[in-house]
């Protein structure tokens, strides 16, 4: 099962959908554990292993040398003659090369010796809490994941003691459940449990792993380590299901008072774990179906890895809240930055959400309108984000954007407006939610007017920076890249994205409001202006420079990025060589052919994709979008071109510490920013959108 990975020393974030919580594990010799309200890898031990008869115990290497909490020595006289309170178990770690690790869409599996340890954290579709049955919601919004432990003692003649445990727990769960659960918890917030079984015991001790292997000791509730001790008879293969769960109670956000949505469905951690364990069979079967789907697909193994890794990190960043009025509020947090619903991520993640939770896209669109739209001197615009670290900003503001700047931290008013428009077009066209369209078409019209106002010279691309910049200049989502992608005005990437927004508005109104002649025509004209302007910038060398000023000669891949939107919306003729913008599309095709060369936009060391010829900082989430465009829209069909192995290695090796990392160095994939990131789920395009637009000309 799953995709075996050769570099097995990297962190995965196994997110629990909507809980802003995850099990983080995977670095050899480093910490692991559950995290809530953030995505930073915890430095705590995760104990998984076994002892066969009187042999040396073997443990997976997830235990840093860090001690959590007090040790026994804090309680006894340090000057008294030392009495060993517990004989050390003298265990060994499985050497890295003897461990098999494999990822799947639903989770991952580790195998070593007689042990298999499987994490199942992703279960696919999530139902809309506004309309779904509460029992379904309890299944799909439950802040829990599963561990399946298997000890194969079938061929051995000695009894085996298996263990699963964690540092940082403070109480046995049998205490608060009267023994209906066995396991451990940290306060009311996180824990793990299995259903009672006579072969399983709770062990809590200063060094729980030693205690688990060294015979019977009473539970030491002052310790901070807890282990489940599992007896496996000779000749037996034993499988144990363990649920890991989290729970945050009460109001957890400021600026807007909300609670976790799951707290409206579950009373406490114990109920979450109990409910999860009772649904084990169904949930694991659901996950197995998901995995089968990906395994049977035609994606390369490396693409399967990239998608799976991305999905896990995305889920770790999702957070479903409930307002005091009872409305669901969906947030995707921005990896290490913790910004809430960054709109330039929303538009990319929409591809994923439209597959598994289309209602979250609507929820984001609505919430951006009420919370994060504003009017500047030129009309409606949208904020970059809605807050940071569970703190909502005041209406109409973001945490990110500041005046007086022309680089990182400046405003993204224009691009965020495009992002809202494009996300809305994707949502309406993929779901056919005509009601939402009719309720919100005036906002789309206002966006169109605003976009056009910012195109003062009527060439289809933005000329005017928002007055919120206060003398500074707007930037794009590529904020940490150089000017080739960072500046908004006269920017090729943004120009094509503007074109996409215009054509999508045109097509959308044509499809759903064909009597809106003025809107359709207004959008159509701006799209044509944009296409003409962009085409006119083509250089004799066969590419379009990244910025239409200062004699810029950067070559960028994301020139083609905007083509994805009309295609995914289901209007392939708009991006077809034979369509109304055929010559524009051919120009971009030529552009890509020119730039996609070693030393330009293919890194000369690694061969990986480099978004800009003038920057080593390249973004995997965007590579994935652009690759989809290249392969599915522009007809670049040579699989060798896509360098899947390079990009997979970047994540497993260069950025091993940071799970799905977006900004990496194109030479070796080492992290440069956007660590622990959700946006890499753009890789869903490869899996769920291939040939989506049936009229595709390729």
Range 32-51, binding a copy of itself (CB under 8 A): none
Question: Contact 307/684 with Cβ under 8 angstroms?
Answer: yes
- 342 is a site residue for a copy of itself (CB under 8 A): no
Tell whether the torsion through CA atoms of 226, 143, 662 and 626 is positive or negative: positive
Q: What are phi and psi of 191, to 5 degrees?
A: 180, 180
Please select the residue that binds a copy of itself; options are 71, 100, 158, 268, rule is CB under 8 A.
268
- 264 is a site residue for a copy of itself (CB under 8 A): no
Angle in degrees, CA 40, 43, 46, rounded to 5: 110
Part of the chain binding a copy of itself (CB under 8 A), chosen from 97-105, 262-270, 353-361, 454-462 = 262-270
- 591 is a site residue for a copy of itself (CB under 8 A): no
Q: Please name the helix (run of DSSP H) or strand (run of DSSP E) that holds residue 243, with its range, or none.
A: strand 237-246
Q: Which is nearer to a copy of itself, 230 or 269 (CB)?
A: 269
Part of the chain binding a copy of itself (CB under 8 A), chosen from 54-62, 96-104, 173-181, 579-587 = 173-181
Q: Which residues contact 608 (CB under 8 A, 6 or more apart)?
A: 602, 618, 623, 643, 646, 647, 650, 666, 669
Least separation in angstroms between CB 219 and a copy of itself = 8
Q: Which is nearer to a copy of itself, 407 or 433 (CB)?
A: 407
Taking alpha carbons only, the member of 288, 355, 264, 266 closest to residue 123 is: 288
- 21 is a site residue for a copy of itself (CB under 8 A): no
Tell whether the torsion through CA atoms of 648, 653, 655 and 660 is positive or negative: positive
Q: What are phi and psi of 244, to 5 degrees?
A: -110, 135
Beta strands in 326-433 (DSSP E): 328-332, 373-376, 379-382, 387-388, 391-392
How many CB atoms within 10 Å of residue 265? Answer: 21
- 657 is a site residue for a copy of itself (CB under 8 A): no
d(CA 146, CA 625): 31
What are the C-alpha distances in Å from 626 to residues 40, 113, 213, 591?
29, 42, 53, 13
DSSP code string of 561-627 = GGGHHHHHHT-GGGGSTTSTTHHHHHHHHHHHHHHSSBTTTB-TTT--B-SBTT-SEEEHHHHHHHH
Least separation in angstroms between CB 553 and a copy of itself = 18
Radius of gyration of the chain (CA): 27
Question: Contact 651/665 with Cβ under 8 angstroms?
Answer: no
Part of the chain binding a copy of itself (CB under 8 A), chosen from 271-279, 389-397, 449-457, 574-582 = 389-397
- 454 is a site residue for a copy of itself (CB under 8 A): no
- 390 is a site residue for a copy of itself (CB under 8 A): yes
- 185 is a site residue for a copy of itself (CB under 8 A): yes
Structure tokens at 496: 């094509």
Q: Which is nearer to a copy of itself, 271 or 295 (CB)?
A: 271
- 668 is a site residue for a copy of itself (CB under 8 A): no
- 430 is a site residue for a copy of itself (CB under 8 A): no
Q: Which is nearer to a copy of itself, 335 or 562 (CB)?
A: 335
Q: Which is nearer to a copy of itself, 253 or 363 (CB)?
A: 253
Q: What are phi and psi of 377, to 5 degrees?
A: -65, -15
Least separation in angstroms between CB 40 and a copy of itself = 10
Please select the residue that binds a copy of itself; options are 13, 46, 283, 339, rule is CB under 8 A.
339
Please select the residue that binds a copy of itself; options are 27, 111, 171, 454, rule is CB under 8 A.
171
Q: Which is nearer to a copy of itself, 270 or 631 (CB)?
A: 270
- 250 is a site residue for a copy of itself (CB under 8 A): yes
- 273 is a site residue for a copy of itself (CB under 8 A): no
Residues in the interface with a copy of itself (CB under 8 A) total 61
Q: Which is nearer to a copy of itself, 225 or 506 (CB)?
A: 225
Question: Contact 79/68 with Cβ under 8 angstroms?
Answer: no
The four Cα atoms 307, 312, 314, 318 give a dihedral, to 10 degrees, of 150
Binding-site string for a copy of itself from residue 201 to residue 240, where x marks contact by CB under 8 A and - marks none = -----------------x-xxx------------------
Q: Which is nearer to a copy of itself, 14 or 248 (CB)?
A: 248
For residue 157, the SS3 value is coil
- 78 is a site residue for a copy of itself (CB under 8 A): yes
DSSP character for 337? G
Q: Which is nearer to a copy of itself, 260 or 587 (CB)?
A: 260
Please select the residue that binds a copy of itself; options are 672, 680, 681, 684, rule is CB under 8 A.
672
d(CA 61, CA 261): 35
Angle in degrees, CA 267, 254, 256, rounded to 5: 85
Q: Which is nearer to a copy of itself, 326 or 691 (CB)?
A: 326
Binding-site string for a copy of itself from residue 472 to residue 501, where x marks contact by CB under 8 A and - marks none = -------xxxx-------------------
- 77 is a site residue for a copy of itself (CB under 8 A): yes
- The residue ranges that bind a copy of itself (CB under 8 A) are 70, 74-80, 170-171, 175-176, 178, 185, 187-188, 218, 220-222, 248-255, 257, 259, 263, 268-269, 336-337, 339, 387-391, 393-394, 399-400, 402-404, 407-409, 479-482, 615-617, 665, 672-673
């Amino acid at each position: 099962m799953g995709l075996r990975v050769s570099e097995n020393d990297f962190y995965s974030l196994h997110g629990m959908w909507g809980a802003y919580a995850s099990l983080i594990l995977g670095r050899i010799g480093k910490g692991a554990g559950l995290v809530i309200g953030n995505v930073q890898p915890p430095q705590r031990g995760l104990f998984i292993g076994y002892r066969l008869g009187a042999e040396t115990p073997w443990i997976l290497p997830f235990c840093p040398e860090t001690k959590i909490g007090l040790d026994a020595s804090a309680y006894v006289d340090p000057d008294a003659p030392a009495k060993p309170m517990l004989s050390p178990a003298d265990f060994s770690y499985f050497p890295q090369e003897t461990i098999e690790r494999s990822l799947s869409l639903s989770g991952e599996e580790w195998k070593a010796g007689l042990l298999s340890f499987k994490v199942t954290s992703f279960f696919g579709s999530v139902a809309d809490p506004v309309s779904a049955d509460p029992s379904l919601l309890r299944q799909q919004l439950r802040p829990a994941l599963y561990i399946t432990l298997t000890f194969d003692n079938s061929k051995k003649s000695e009894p085996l003691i298996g263990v699963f445990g964690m540092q940082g727990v403070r109480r046995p769960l049998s205490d608060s459940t009267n023994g209906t659960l066995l396991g451990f918890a940290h306060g009311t917030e996180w824990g793990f449990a299995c259903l009672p079984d006579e072969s399983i015991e709770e062990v809590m001790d200063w060094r729980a792993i030693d205690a688990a292997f060294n015979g019977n000791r009473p539970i030491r509730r002052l310790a901070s380590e807890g282990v489940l001790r599992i007896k496996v008879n000779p000749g037996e293969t034993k499988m144990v299901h363990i649920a890991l769960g989290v729970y945050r109670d009460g109001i957890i956000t400021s600026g807007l008072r909300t609670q976790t949505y799951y707290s409206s469905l579950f009373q406490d951690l114990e109920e979450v774990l109990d409910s999860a364990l009772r649904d084990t069979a169904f949930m694991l079967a659901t996950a197995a179906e998901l995995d089968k789907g990906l395994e049977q697909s035609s994606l390369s193994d490396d693409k399967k890895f990239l998608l799976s890794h991305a999905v896990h990190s995305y889920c770790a960043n999702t957070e479903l809240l409930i307002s005091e009025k009872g409305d669901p509020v969906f947030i995707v947090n921005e990896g290490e930055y913790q910004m809430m619903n960054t709109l330039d991520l929303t538009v990319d993640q929409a591809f994923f959400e439209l597959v598994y939770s289309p209602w979250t896209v609507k929820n984001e669109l609505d919430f951006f309108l009420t919370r994060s739209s504003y009017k500047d001197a030129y009309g409606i615009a949208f904020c970059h984000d809605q807050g940071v670290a569970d703190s909502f900003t005041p209406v109409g503001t973001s945490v990110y954007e500041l005046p007086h700047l022309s680089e990182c931290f400046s405003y993204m008013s224009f691009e965020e407006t495009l992002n809202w428009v494009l996300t809305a077009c994707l949502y309406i066209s993929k779901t056919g939610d005509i009601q939402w369209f009719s309720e919100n078409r005036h906002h789309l019209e206002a966006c169109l007017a605003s976009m056009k106002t910012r195109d003062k010279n009527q060439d289809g691309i933005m000329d005017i920076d928002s007055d919120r910049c206060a003398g500074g200049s707007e930037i794009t989502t590529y904020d940490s890249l150089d000017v080739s992608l960072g500046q908004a005005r006269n920017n090729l990437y943004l120009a094509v994205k503007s074109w996409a927004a215009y054509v999508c508005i045109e097509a959308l109104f044509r499809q759903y409001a064909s009597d809106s002649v003025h809107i359709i025509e207004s959008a159509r004209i701006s799209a044509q202006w944009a296409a003409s302007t962009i085409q006119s910038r083509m250089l004799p060398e066969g590419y379009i420079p990244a910025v239409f000023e200062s004699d810029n000669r950067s070559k960028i891949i994301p020139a083609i990025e905007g083509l994805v939107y009309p295609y995914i919306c289901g209007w392939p003729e708009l991006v077809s060589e034979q369509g109304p913008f055929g010559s524009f599309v051919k120009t971009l095709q030529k552009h890509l052919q020119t730039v996609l060369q070693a030393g330009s936009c293919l890194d000369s060391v690694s061969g990986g994709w480099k978004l800009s010829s003038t920057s080593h900082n390249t973004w995997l989430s965007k590579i994935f979008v652009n690759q989809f465009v290249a392969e599915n829209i522009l007809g670049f069909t040579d699989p060798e071109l896509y360098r899947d192995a390079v990009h997979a290695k970047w994540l497993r090796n260069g950025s091993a510490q940071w799970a799905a990392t977006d900004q990496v160095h194109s030479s070796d994939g080492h992290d440069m920013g956007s660590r622990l990131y959700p946006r890499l789920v753009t890789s869903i395009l490869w899996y769920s959108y291939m040939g989506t637009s049936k009229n595709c000309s390729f």
